[in-house]
Structure 1
Amino acid sequence: MKTMKALVLGANGAIAQHVITFLATKENIELTLFARNADPIKHFETSATIIEGDVLNTNDLNEAIKGQDIVYANLAGAVDKMAKEIVSAMDAHHVKRLIFVTSLGIYKEVAGKFGQWNERMIGSDLIPYRKAADIIEKSDLDYTIVRPSWLTNADETDYETTQKGEPFKGTEVARKAVAAYITGIIEHPEKDIKSSVGVNKPGVYGDKPAFY
């Protein structure tokens, strides 16, 4: 079985930590974890290579991306600038497969009262995520943009998906469930290529998440 080299950018994040845990026991996946502060991920050093660095530092990013098969980015902050840097570095090193996590609502795809509530709550925060999605969609990468619903810490992996152009469903989803979806793509990279995918918990619909 061919070994898949997978890079996790933003490895300290809660979703990313679930993904790393799911993949750590897979013998055919060679993990590299990239974070600004490596201390919280030191416990993974027996099963992964750990790099401390900044996505917006060109040298750090190029060094991490070189030789990888797949890049999974789970970032916050200036994600549009980060997306631009990631696309450039992946092009430079001929790495094609990207998974990039954004948010529900970047295309105003959330309908009805939940959509209005979501826009009120995080509308302005979505601007850099939308710009990041636009940059990635215009690239020649084999990308999957992931748009999770409002996140919970529930210990469950149940999810359903919607594609770009379809109304977003579901007011919440567990971080562990989003990680299960992402893990599935890393294990089967042919899945959802050049797609922007909404991820939510099935059957939990309404005007806002239950925890609000």
Structure 2
Amino acid sequence: MTNVLVLGAHGQIARLATDQLLANPDNHLTLFLRNADRLADKASDRVKVIDGDAGNADDLKAALAGIDVVYANLAGKIEDEAKAVVSAMDATGVKRLIWISTLGIYDEVPGAYGKWNHQMLDGGYLETYAAAAKTIEGSDLDYTIIRPAWLSNHDEIDYETTKKGEAFKGTEVSRKSIAALVTKLVANPTQAIHESLGVNKPNTDGDKPVWK
């Protein structure tokens, strides 16, 4: 049995990942979010739904009891949340973290698409996600950082990955694909430890996503 704590459980990717994770009967989930009533219908013998603030280390420590893997799909004050997650995991001895970030935090997106991405995300968003990733990478956790391309709601699982230090590929990827990668890492927790993975749909190179 694998006990997974899902932080930011009401997010679109997190809800897709929850469904995919529950397809494996060995997975038991704790869904952590503000206003837990929003996911009250998900509660079952394999799913616990709890209210909490991901920027509050005490809330996180309480949620981490008995947890094997933390999957964090957070937004907002992301740097503060990263610090709180690291602190709480250190305090409770939980080591495995899957952390959703964004493309461009290492200035790894080449060409015209990279320039467009900076125009869209500079000014507070890209900088804070980069700082959060730096906090995760500076920890002693067994982390995997996931850097999705621009996200679509296409009903497909079709992705490829690049590693930190490699140029980012493609312009888009489906949320369902990111959820599938999270599910794969939960099932194979020794994979991609201390790696930062760019994730895109193959053959979607261009100056920007097709819908922009």
TM-score (structure 1 length as normaliser):
0.97
- The one-letter amino acid paired with 2:150 is W
The RMSD of aligned alpha carbons is 0.9
Number of equivalences: 210
**Superposed counterparts of 1:12-91, under 5 Å:** 12-46=10-44, 47-91=46-90
- The one-letter amino acid paired with 1:179 is A
Q: Which residue of 2 aligns with 1:131?
A: 131
Unpaired runs of 5+ residues, structure 1, are: none
What SS does the aligned partner of 2:151 have?
strand
Contact 2:103 2:148 in 1 (8 A): yes
Unpaired runs of 5+ residues, structure 2, are: none
Q: Which residue of 2 aligns with 1:172?
A: 172
Cα offset, 1:150, TM superposition: 0.3
Contact 1:170 1:204 in 2 (8 A): yes
| Residues 17-69 of structure 1 deviation map (CA, whole Å, 9 limit, x = unaligned) | 01000011322111100000223322211241011111122321110112211
What SS does the aligned partner of 1:209 have?
coil
Identity %: 51
Which 4+ residue blocks in structure 1 deviate beyond 4 angstroms?
none
What SS does the aligned partner of 1:100 have?
strand
Q: C-alpha separation between the residues in 2 aligned to 1:24 and 1:170?
A: 30
What SS does the aligned partner of 2:19 have?
helix
What SS does the aligned partner of 1:199 have?
strand
When structure 1 is superposed on structure 2, of 85-94 and 41-50 the one drifting more is 41-50
TM-score (structure 2 length as normaliser):
0.97
Q: C-alpha separation between the residues in 1 aligned to 2:65 and 2:128?
A: 26
What SS does the aligned partner of 1:169 have?
coil
Contact 1:67 1:93 in 2 (8 A): no
